[in-house]
Structure 1
Amino acid sequence: YDILGVRPSATEAELRKAYRREALLWHPDKSTAPAEVASERFKRVSHAFHVLSDAQLRAAYD
């Protein structure tokens, strides 16, 4: 939740919006951060969205 900047009670729409915001910010081709930092952060954001957007994985995480 912290990685995407959402509350634990966030809806699917809120998760999607937060993911898109963070993905655009940290995408290695668009970020102004060093490539290694942006790439690692983008991977963390993608993984967080993957876990939280799947109902079973989210339940296991919670």
Structure 2
Amino acid sequence: SRDEMRALDVLECDMHAEFEEVKKAYRRLAKANHPDTNQGDKEAAARFQAIQAAYAVLRSAEERKTWKGV
């Protein structure tokens, strides 16, 4: 979906990335942009929120894919 493509872009992943790659990218970007690491940096806080939202979209898509396979 379009939302999933945007989410992959936010997480700097290829459109054919496996979910494990997505998780690694999420952890790397979340750690680099976390508000505790970048105190007072409003841009980093906004990026962190975007990263969280993108991961939620992709995690949801992965769960749907998993449930369809059952």
Unaligned runs of 5+ in 1: 57-62
State the Cα distance separating 1:35 from its structure 2 match.
2.2
Give structure 1 regions of 4+ aligned residues with deviation exceeding 4 angstroms.
none
Cα RMSD, aligned residues only:
1.5
Q: In the alignment, what sits opposite 2:25?
A: 18
State the Cα distance separating 1:36 from its structure 2 match.
1.0
Unaligned runs of 5+ in 2: 1-7, 65-70
Q: In the alignment, what sits opposite 2:57?
A: 51
Q: Percent identity?
A: 36
TM-score (norm. length: structure 1): 0.77
TM-score (norm. length: structure 2): 0.69
Considering fraction of residues, name the structure with more helix.
2
Q: Distance in 2 between matches of 1:5 and 1:36?
A: 20
Q: How many residues align?
A: 55
